């Protein structure tokens, strides 16, 4: 399943699932010198505030203190990360094979997600450039607020993909009728 | 459902968290000199306050960070949130037995 596959459609709503290229970067006690170097390496303002996303040559999402998700192929990420961090002990692991991505877009996307997610995702409290690790349909997810592309991104464990696929298919029903 | 203020992520649903029990439990030392009573107290004896108590919580479904909070066991009111390793938070009126 190389291409995004449609999970469900409804008026004002589309949900597509695809593989995702993502690596996790961990650094102990990151300082501003280090985050600046990382930001420069990828041409973005590095997300140092909790639950924010930086967009440049890659998309970087804050996960925890000293931990980020970087959305690109592992081969692309390795060299700039190594160059930026130099001798600093760090850990970059490709977890692409273990994750799936859902893109939920449309004017009713927020309504749909609210059926399984307790987080307030109104743009007032979850503006573009926000991300959150939370729960959707009892599954731990990374939720990224719609940016220029207008779609919520949801990243979850591949082992739980079948469950989420079914949940989306069922949750979308009320929007079809 | 409690709304727990994670120091990193802000207020989140209780279901995203796991409670790690009482905070500030010190392992008795030195190893060779700890008696059975002190050791069993360390392992098993816990405060059971009717009122404010200090607890460890982890934001298991979020940033996975541990922190301390002061929660009232009668009202669930959360009076303070503070980092691991910080000295025990003051509790206004200790209501022990």
Per-residue pLDDT of A89-136, as tens digits, reads: 999 999 999 999 999 999 999 999 999 999 999 999 999 999 999 999
Split at pLDDT 50, 70, 90, the class of A149 is confident
The first and second tokens of residue A113, run together, are 């997600």
Cβ proximity of B59 and B8 under 8 Å: yes
> Does B65 contact A50 at a Cβ distance shorter than 8 Å?
no
Q: Which of A4-18, A161-175, B36-50 has the lowest mean pLDDT?
A: A4-18
Size of interface A-B (CB pairs under 8 A): 34
Point out the residue among A50, A119, A135 whose CB comes nearest to the CB of B63. Answer: A50
Q: How far is A21 from chain B (nearest CA, A)?
A: 21
Distance CA A167, CA A17 (A): 13
Q: Return the axis-axis angle of helices A32-42 and A74-85, rounded to nearest 10°.
A: 140
| B63/A134 CB distance under 8 A | no
User: Which residue of chain A is at minimal alpha-carbon distance from B11?
Assistant: A119
H/E stretch holding B37: helix B36-44
| Helical H segments across chain A, by residue range | 32-42, 74-85, 109-114, 161-171, 173-176
List, for residues B31-83, the tens digit of each pLDDT value: 889 999 999 999 999 999 999 999 999 999 999 999 999 999 999 999 999 99
With vertex at residue A166, the alpha carbon angle to CA A164 and CA A170, rounded to the nearest 5 degrees, is 115
Across-strand partners of B54? B70
Q: Which residues 6+ apart lie within 8 Å of B4 measured at CB?
A: B11, B12, B13, B14, B16, B17, B57, B69, B78
CATH class of this structure's domain A5-20+98-176? alpha beta
Domains assigned to chain B = 3-83 (3.30.2270.10)
d(CA A58, CA A55): 6
Structure tokens at A140: 């731990």
What's the pLDDT band for B97 if we cut at 50, 70, 90?
very low
Does position A147 have pLDDT exceeding 90, yes or no?
no
Within 8 A of B65 by CB-CB distance, chain A residues are 64-65
Select the more confidently predicted residue: A131 or A12: A131
Question: What CATH number was assigned to the domain covering residues A23-94?
Answer: 3.30.70.1520
Structure confidence by residue, pLDDT tens digits, B2-27: 999 999 999 999 999 999 999 999 99
What is this structure's pTM? 0.90
Q: Taking a C-beta distance cutoff of 8 angstroms, is the pair A132, A51 a contact? A: yes
Q: What is the pLDDT of residue A4?
A: 65
Cα nearest neighbour of B64 on chain A: A64
For residue A134, the chain B residues in CB contact (below 8 A) are 12, 16, 61-62
Instruction: State pLDDT tens for residues A65-95.
Output: 999 999 999 999 999 999 999 889 999 999 9
Spatial distance between the Cα atoms of A148 and A130, rounded to a whole number of angstroms: 13
Listed in sequence order, the residues at least 6 apart from A140 whose beta carbon sits closer than 8 Å to its beta carbon are A133, A134, A156, A157, B61
The ipTM value here is 0.88
Binning pLDDT at 50, 70 and 90, where does residue A2 land? very low
pLDDT of residue B82: 95
Residue of chain A nearest B1, judged by CA positions: A118
Distance CA A138, CA A134 (A): 9
Is the omega angle on the peptide bond into residue B32 within 30 degrees of 0, that is, cis? Answer: no
Please name the residues between 112 and 131 in chain A that touch chain B, using a CB distance below 8 Å. Answer: 118-119
Domain boundaries, chain A: 5-20+98-176, 23-94
Other C-beta atoms lying within 10 Å of the C-beta of residue A60 = 27
């Amino acid at each position: 399943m190389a291409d995004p596959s449609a999970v469900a459609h409804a008026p004002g709503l589309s949900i597509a699932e695809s593989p995702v290229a993502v690596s996790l970067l961990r650094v102990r006690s990151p300082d501003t010198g280090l985050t600046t170097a990382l930001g420069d390496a990828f041409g973005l303002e590095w997300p140092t505030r909790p639950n924010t996303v930086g967009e440049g040559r890659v998309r970087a999402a804050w996960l925890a203190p000293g931990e980020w998700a970087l959305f690109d192929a592992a081969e692309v990420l390795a060299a700039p990360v190594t160059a930026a961090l130099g001798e600093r002990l760090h850990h970059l692991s490709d977890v692409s094979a273990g994750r799936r991505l859902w893109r939920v877009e449309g004017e009713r996307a927020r309504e749909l997600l609210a059926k399984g997610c307790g987080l307030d995702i109104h743009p007032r409290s979850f503006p573009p450039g926000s991300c959150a690790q939370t729960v959707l349909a009892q599954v731990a997810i990374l939720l990224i607020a719609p940016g220029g592309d207008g779609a919520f991104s949801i990243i979850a464990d591949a082992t739980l993909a079948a469950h989420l696929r079914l949940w989306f298919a069922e949750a979308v029903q009320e929007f079809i009728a | 459902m409690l709304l727990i203020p994670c120091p990193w992520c802000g207020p989140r649903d209780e279901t995203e968290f796991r409670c790690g029990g009482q905070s500030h439990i010190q392992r008795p030392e030195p190893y060779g000199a700890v008696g059975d009573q002190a050791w069993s107290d360390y392992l098993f004896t816990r405060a059971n306050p009717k009122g404010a108590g200090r607890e460890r919580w982890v934001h298991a479904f979020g940033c996975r960070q541990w922190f301390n909070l002061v929660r009232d066991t009668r009202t669930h009111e959360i009076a303070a949130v503070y980092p691991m390793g910080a000295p025990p938070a003051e509790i206004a009126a200790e209501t022990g037995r």
